[in-house]
Amino acid sequence: MARVVVDVRLKSEILDPQGRAVQGALGRLGLNGVTNVRQGKQFVIDIDGELDAAATEKLHEIAGNLLSNPVIEDYELSVEQA
Amino acid sequence: MARVVVDVRLKSEILDPQGRAVQGALGRLGLNGVTNVRQGKQFVIDIDGELDAAATEKLHEIAGNLLSNPVIEDYELSVEQA
Amino acid sequence: MSRHVDTVTNAANTPDLEQPFAELGVKPDEYARIREILNRRPTNSELAMYSVMWSEHCSYKSSKVHLRQFGDKKPDSDAMLVGIGENAGVVDIGDGWAVTFKVESHNHPSFVEPYQGAATGVGGIVRDILSMGARPVAVMDPLRFGPADAPDTARVLPGIIAGVGGYGNCLGLPNIGGEVVFDPTYLGNPLVNALCVGTMKHEDIHLAKASGIGNLVILFGAATGGDGIGGVSVLASETFEDGGPAKRPSVQVGDPFMEKLLIECTLEVLHAGLVEGIQDLGGAGISCATSELASNGTGGMHVYLERVPLRDATLTPEEILMSESQERMCAIVPPENAEKFLEICAKWDVVATVIGEVTDTGRLIIEWHGEVIVDVPPRTVAHDGPVYERPYHRPTWQDTLQADAPTADRLKRPTTASELRDTIMTMTAAPNLASKRWVTDQYDRYVLGNTVLAQPEDSGMVRVDEVTGRGVAVSTDCNGRFAKLDPYNGAKLALAEAYRNVSTTGAVPLAVTNCLNFGSPEDPEVMWQFSEAVRGLADGCLELGTPVTGGNVSFYNQTGDVAILPTPVVGVLGVIDDVERRTPMSWKTDGDLIYVLGTTADEFAGSEWAHEVHGHLGGLPPGIDLKLEQALSQILVACSRDGLIDAAHDVSDGGIMQALIEMALRSGIGARVWVPDNLDPFVFAYAESATRAVVVVARSEEQRFIDMCAARNFPATRVGVVDSAAAAEPALVVDGVYGDVLTLPIAELADKHFSTLPAIFGPTVG
Amino acid sequence: MSAQGARIGVVTFPGSLDDRDAARAVRLAGAEPVALWHADHDLKAVDAVVLPGGFSYGDYLRCGAIARFAPVMQEIIAAANQGLPVLGICNGFQILCESHLLPGALIRNDHRHFVCRDQRLQITNNTSLWTRDFELNEEIVVPLKNGEGGYVASDNVLDELEGEGRVIARYLEVNPNGSYRDIAGITNARGNVVGLMPHPEHAVEPLTGPTTDGLGFFTSVLSSLLQGAAR
Ligand SMILES: Nc1ncnc2c1ncn2[C@@H]1O[C@H](COP(=O)(O)OP(=O)(O)O)[C@@H](O)[C@H]1O
Ligand SMILES: [Mg+2]
C-alpha cells in the first residue's frame, strides 16, 4: 500500500482571504509577530499495491490539474510506500 | 523567523464528503486502486523571531480551537525554525 | 477481533443474562414489557431497536396523550389529504396540486456542532418531505439564540447560519423565511427548527408502507456509518471481546450533494411508478424505517442486515440498526421493477441495495450472516411504545409572574417627544427587531425561479404552477415570552401571528404545522406549559378551521434546571390562486393612505419594549380573539383579490412603530403619520395588541376599503399618508407626539436597523 | 435560421441547481431549451449552450474542478473552440475557467460568506455573442449568489482582458466578493464564450426577479444566431 500526500497552496501573488482572516484572528488572540498566513489543502490518498512509474506520472498529472488549479495554485506531492 | 505548519484533518470516523468526491473523480480519471482519500486543510504561518515556549503553547491552543474544530477534526503542528 | 452476535436462539437459551437496559434509557417496566411482548429476553439488537424507538424522540411517549387533541379537535376541512402520523401531512391546494410541509427541530446537535447540526437538520426535514412523493421547493428556519452579544452566541450563531445556508443552498432550495430571536434562556440551548415545503400532484402522493408479499426492500443513498449511535455503544462494547469497537463519531456530517442526488433519484423512481412504499431514514435509521414500513403495510418483513453497505467495517449489527447516517432512503419495490429502479439509481450515482423483502408473517425478522438477530412484531416497535401520563401542575410562580404587569408605574415610559425618539432609535436597533439581513443574505432565495416573496416580507411565497400562477405562502411564528406568561393563549397568539402573516400577503390560510420546543417533561411545571400550549393550539386551530397536519416535539431544552421559554413554533400554510396578486409589505406611491386595521390597547406584557428597555417579563399577554383574527384575515385576502390595497404589513413585535419603520426601510420612501386622537403616542407606537395590520390604500379605493371594513364591523383607522417629500430628506414624520412632531430620517433609521448584527457578528458584504 | 427555431442546450451536472431556471430564461427569450446530460458525449445539435449555476459534483474540491472532466464538457470545449456560443453562469463560469476556455479563476469570497443579493452591474462589452442586446455601459440589476465568486488572474491577464475589451460586466456600488478590478464577467477573444458570476436567469420575470434585466443575455445570443454571427 502506498500513501500519497498532495499539498496544494495558493500562489503567493493570489489573494488568500482565509489566510488573511486567520492572520487577523491570530493577532487578536495575542500571538505576536505573525508576518504571513496562507491556507492550503492537503489530500491524503491511499493506494493499493506499489506505485510504479506510470502511476506516479498519472498522480502528478492529477495533482497538477485536478487537485490543484495551475492558474492559482502550486502543489507538492510526496509518497510514503508502506 | 519561524515557519509553523498546521495540518488539520477530519477525524477518521467522521464522514468526509470532499474526500469521497475526489475519490470518485480519481477513479473516473483512470487512477486505479485508490482505497481512500481524505481532504484536509493546511495552514502555513510565518512568525518573526524565535518561538519561545509560551508562543508555542499559544500556537497549540490556536491550532486546536481556531484552526481546527476539536469536535470533528484533529491537527498536527510542526515548526521549522529558520 | 472477534465478535459475539446475540441471536434469538441465544436469547432463548440465556433467559437470565443481565442486559444494560438502563444505560440505553429503557425503564425497568419498559424492559419488562419487552420481555412480555417477546416471551423471552430481547437480543441485543432487539433491545437496541426498542430502546431507540421507545425513546422520547421517536415515540412521543410524554406528549402523545396531549397531541391527540390535534386529531380530536380537528376542524372540518376538505383540504387534508394525508393527516398526522405520516412523515408529513398533505393538503390539497386545488387544480390537482397538493402540498406537504413540516417543521422539525435539531436543537441539541446544533449546540454541540453548530454548522453540521444545523445542516443535518435541514437535510432531515427535506427527506421527510421527499418521502411523501413531493418535490421539495422551499425551506425556512425558525431559530432562537442566547443574547446576541453573549460570547457563546458568537460561536453558535454564525455556524448555524452557515450550516442552514450551506446545506440548503447546495441542495438548490430557496430559503423563503424564518425567525431569529434572542433571549437569555436559549444561551445554553439554542433552537434550530427547520421547515420544508414540497409540492406534488395528487396522484404522486406516496406513503410509508410495506405491502405486497415478495416486494423488495431497497436501501439507497449514502453508505451507513457509525453516526448518531451514542447510546448503543454500550452494547457494542459488550459484543467485542478484545479491544472494543473503533471510535464512533460524536457528530454527524451532512453531504448535501448526496442529498441532491437522492432527491432527483427518488423523484425519478417515484414518477416512473416503480415504488410501492417509501420512507426516509432519520432518527433510529434502519430500525425505524423497517419497523414502520412493516407495521404500516402487510405486516411482515425479512431483512438481511449484512447486505447494508457500510462506511465503517467495524460496525456491529446493533449499531447498523441504530445508525443515523444521513442521506439514506428505503423503498418497497415490486421485484419486476427492481432492474429499472437500480438503473435509475445508477444514473444518479446513488448506491442501492436490496436488503430484504416483504412477508406475510406479521413479524420483522432480521438476519445477520444467516443467524436471526431480530424477530419481533413490528407494531410493538413502531407504534405500541409506552405512553406516559406525566404529572403536571401550574407553576407555583405563575400567579406572581402574571401579577407583575408592566403598568406605567411599574415600568418607566417615554412621556415626551424626545424620549419617544430615543426609544424608537433603541428599539429599531434592538437585536430582536433589527434587520436579519446579515442572516438571510447568506441564503439563496432565488433558486428554482418561483420565489415570489421572501425575507423580509411577512410570509414566504412560492409559485407552484407556472401556468395558472397558483402558489402557497408560509410563515412561522412564536413569541416565547407570551407563551411563558400564559402558555394557552401564548400558543394561540403564535398561531394567530403566523395565520395573520400568511393572510397579509393575500393567501388564504389552510393548514398548520408546529414544532413544540420545551424543557424537561419530567418537570411537572414544564409539562403544564406543554399541555396548555397544545390545548391552546388545538383549540385555536379548531376555531380558525386550519387543521394541524403534523409537527414535532422537542423536550429537554434546558440548561441545568432552567428551561427555555416555552416555544411552540407554529407554521401556517396558505394558498393563493394567483401569485400575481400577492400583497407586498411596503408602499411605493405618494399619496396612498396608511391605515391601521384592528384595535390598539395598552398591552405591553411580554412586549419587545418591556424586554429590550426594561428586561422585564410579567403580566398577561395581549388578548386574543380568533374570530376577530379570522375577520382580519378575510379582509386582507378580499383586499388582495379586489385590488383594494397596495401593501400590507402585519403588526407584531415592536408594534405599529416597528411596522411603519420596516415599511419605510423596505421602500426607501417616506410618509407622514399622525397619532390617533384617542391614543397615547407611546401606546400607539409600541403596544403589541394582536390582530392588527398596517395597510396601504390608494385614494381611489379608499371608500370601497372603508365600506368593506365597516361591513365586517372591523376597525380601520387612517394614520398616515405616503409622502416622499414629508421632510427635506426621506423620512417618517410623526405628528401628534406629546404636542410635537417627530422627524425620523430613513437614513438614520437604516443605520440603526441594519448595523446591529454586522456590528456583533462581523461584516459580510457592503 | 430564425430565432424561433433556435435550440439552446442547458447542461445538467450532478449538483446543478439553476438548470430549470436557465431553461425557463431560454424559453422566455424565445428559444427552445434542450436538456443536456453531463455523462453524454452528445450536444444534440444545439445552437448554443448554457452551463448553469449550482454545485457540480458537490464542488467540494474546487468549484468546477471535477465538472471540467465530464464527458459533455469534452464536446463543449471542442465546439466552443469552433465558435459555439457558450454562457457559463456562476458555477458555469467556474467550469469555463477550470476548462481554460476563459482565463483566471474564482476563489472564496474575500468576506468568506456565501452572499445572495440584488447586484448592480455595468455592462462593459456589447459585442460578445451574449451581450450584444445591451447598450454599452448600461446599468442592470440581477441577483448574485455565491460563496466562491472572487475573480482572480495575473496582472498580465487582467491588463489583456481590459485592453481587449473582454470584461463584459463590472460590479457597481459594492464589490460583493473581492473580485479583482470589480470584474463580474468576461469573454474569450472570439466573443462566443462568456462567463459571469451574477445570475441573469433569475432576472427574467417581474414576479420572481428584482428586474427583467437578465433576459438581455439570452436575447443577445438569439440576435447573434439570427444575424449569423455565431460560428
Ligand atoms: N432565520 C431566518 N431565515 C430566513 N428568514 C428569516 C430568518 N429570520 C428572519 N427571517 C425573515 O425576516 C423577516 C422578518 O422577520 P420577523 O421580524 O420575525 O417577521 P415577523 O415578525 O413578521 O414574523 C421575515 O420575512 C422572516 O421570514
Ligand atoms: Mg410579519
Contact C452 D174 (CB under 8 A): no
Active site residue C611: no
C374/C364 Cα distance (integer angstroms)? 7
Contact C113 B21 (CB under 8 A): no
* Share above pLDDT 70 across residues of chain C, in percent, rounded to a whole number: 97
**pLDDT over 90 (residue A4):** yes
Closest CA of chain C from D209, distance in Å:
8
Give tens-digit pLDDT for C25-71.
Answer: 899 999 999 999 999 999 999 999 999 899 888 889 999 999 999 99
Q: What is the pLDDT along chain B (82 residues), one digit of tens a residue?
A: 889 999 999 988 888 888 988 998 888 888 888 999 999 999 999 998 888 888 888 899 989 988 998 888 999 999 987 6
Which ligand sits nearest to residue C138's alpha carbon? 1
What band does C246 get if pLDDT is binned at 50, 70 and 90? Answer: low
* Strand-by-strand arrangement of the C97-105 sheet: C80-82, C90-94, C97-105, C191-201, C135-145, C175-182
**Cβ C146 vs Cβ C152: under 8 Å:** yes
- Phi and psi, residue C329, nearest 5°: -135, 160
Higher pLDDT, C554 or C242: C554
Residues in chain A closer than 8 A to D56 (CB atoms): none
Contact C250 B71 (CB under 8 A): yes
Active site residue D116: no
Label residue C599 exposed, middle or buried (CB < 10 Å: 0-12, 13-18, 19+): middle
Is the CB of C653 within 6 Å of ligand 1?
yes
Following CA atoms D188, D191, D195, D201 in sequence, which dihedral angle do they give, to the nearest 10 degrees?
A: 180
The predicted model gives C295-301 an average pLDDT of 87
The CATH architecture to which D3-230 belongs is: 3-Layer(aba) Sandwich (3.40)
3-state SS track over C717-741: EEEEEECCCCCCCCEEEEEEECCEE
The interface residues of chain B toward chain A in range 40-69, judged by CB-CB distance below 8 A, are 40-49, 55, 58-59, 62, 66-67
Residues in chain D closer than 8 A to B66 (CB atoms): none
Q: Which of C719, C735, C731 is nearest to C665 (CA)?
A: C731
Give tens-digit pLDDT for C450-480.
Answer: 999 999 999 999 999 999 999 999 999 999 9
Contact A17 D110 (CB under 8 A): yes
Q: How far is the CA of C71 from the centre of ligand 1 (A)?
A: 30
Catalytic residue among C4, C66, C106, C649: C106
C610/C620 Cα distance (integer angstroms)? 13
**Cβ B40 vs Cβ A44: under 8 Å:** yes
- Domain containing C655: what range? 583-761
The predicted model gives C694-709 an average pLDDT of 97
Contact B25 D58 (CB under 8 A): no
SS3 content of chain B, % helix, strand, coil (to 5): 35, 40, 30
3-state SS track over D52-66: CCECHHHHCCCCCCC
Residues 6+ apart with CB under 8 A from C610: C406, C411, C604, C616, C617
Please tell me whether residue B27 adopts helix, strand or coil conformation: helix
**Which residues are close to ligand 2, an ion, with C-beta < 5 A?**
C 458, 501, 650
Q: What is the pLDDT of residue C96?
A: 95
- For the beta carbon of residue C703, count every other beta carbon within 10 angstroms: 10
**Cβ C444 vs Cβ C169: under 8 Å:** yes
Q: For residue C238, give Cα distances in angstroms to C17, C52, C144, C308.
A: 12, 18, 40, 22
Reported ipTM: 0.92
The CATH architecture to which A2-81 belongs is: 2-Layer Sandwich (3.30)
Dihedral sign from CA coordinates of D75, D81, D83, D89: positive
C231/C324 Cα distance (integer angstroms)? 12
Enter the C-alpha cell of residue C626.
380568533
The predicted model gives C546-558 an average pLDDT of 94
Number of domains in chain C: 1
Helices C338-347 + C256-271 axis angle, to 10: 140
**Cβ C468 vs Cβ C450: under 8 Å:** no
Nearest C-alpha to atom 24 of ligand 1 is from which residue? C456
Is the CB of C440 within 6 Å of ligand 1?
yes
The predicted model gives C620-648 an average pLDDT of 97
Q: How far is the CA of C383 from the centre of ligand 2 (A)?
A: 38
Q: Is C506 on the interface with D (CB under 8 A)?
A: no
**pLDDT over 50 (residue C73):** yes
Give tens-digit pLDDT for C511-540.
Answer: 999 999 999 999 999 999 999 999 999 999
> Grid coordinates 408529513 are at which residue?
C88
> Grid coordinates 387534508 are at which residue?
C80
CATH of the domain at C715: 3.90.650.10
Please provide the average confidence, as pLDDT, over all residues in chain C. Answer: 94
Is the CB of C662 within 6 Å of ligand 1?
no
Task: Examine residue C627 and state whether it is found in any structural domain, yes or no.
Answer: yes
A11/D148 Cα distance (integer angstroms)? 17
Closest CA of chain B from C225, distance in Å:
8
The predicted model gives C439-444 an average pLDDT of 97
Q: What is the pLDDT of residue C522?
A: 94
C172/C261 Cα distance (integer angstroms)? 11
Return the domain boundaries, chain A. 2-81
Closest CA of chain A from B7, distance in Å:
8
Give tens-digit pLDDT for A11-42.
Answer: 988 888 888 888 888 888 888 889 999 999 99
Residues in chain D closer than 8 A to B25 (CB atoms): 57, 61, 66, 69
**Cβ D33 vs Cβ D104: under 8 Å:** no
Label residue C561 exposed, middle or buried (CB < 10 Å: 0-12, 13-18, 19+): exposed
Contact A48 B26 (CB under 8 A): no
C593/C599 Cα distance (integer angstroms)? 18
Task: Examine residue C644 and state whether it is found in any structural domain, yes or no.
Answer: yes
The predicted model gives C715-739 an average pLDDT of 97
Q: What is the pLDDT of residue D230?
A: 60
**Cβ B44 vs Cβ A7: under 8 Å:** no
Cis check: omega of the bond before C745, within 30 degrees of 0: no
Give tens-digit pLDDT for C447-457.
Answer: 999 999 999 99
Nearest C-alpha to atom 12 of ligand 1 is from which residue? C456
C497/C652 Cα distance (integer angstroms)? 7
C107/C595 Cα distance (integer angstroms)? 40
Give tens-digit pLDDT for B14-33.
Answer: 888 889 889 988 888 888 88
**pLDDT over 60 (residue D208):** yes
Q: What is the pLDDT of residue C243?
A: 46
Please provide the average confidence, as pLDDT, over all residues in chain D. Answer: 95
The predicted model gives C90-113 an average pLDDT of 94
**Cβ C174 vs Cβ C195: under 8 Å:** no
Give tens-digit pLDDT for C219-232.
Answer: 999 999 888 776 55
**pLDDT over 80 (residue C235):** no
Q: How far is the CA of C455 from the centre of ligand 1 (A)?
A: 6
Nearest C-alpha to atom 22 of ligand 1 is from which residue? C458
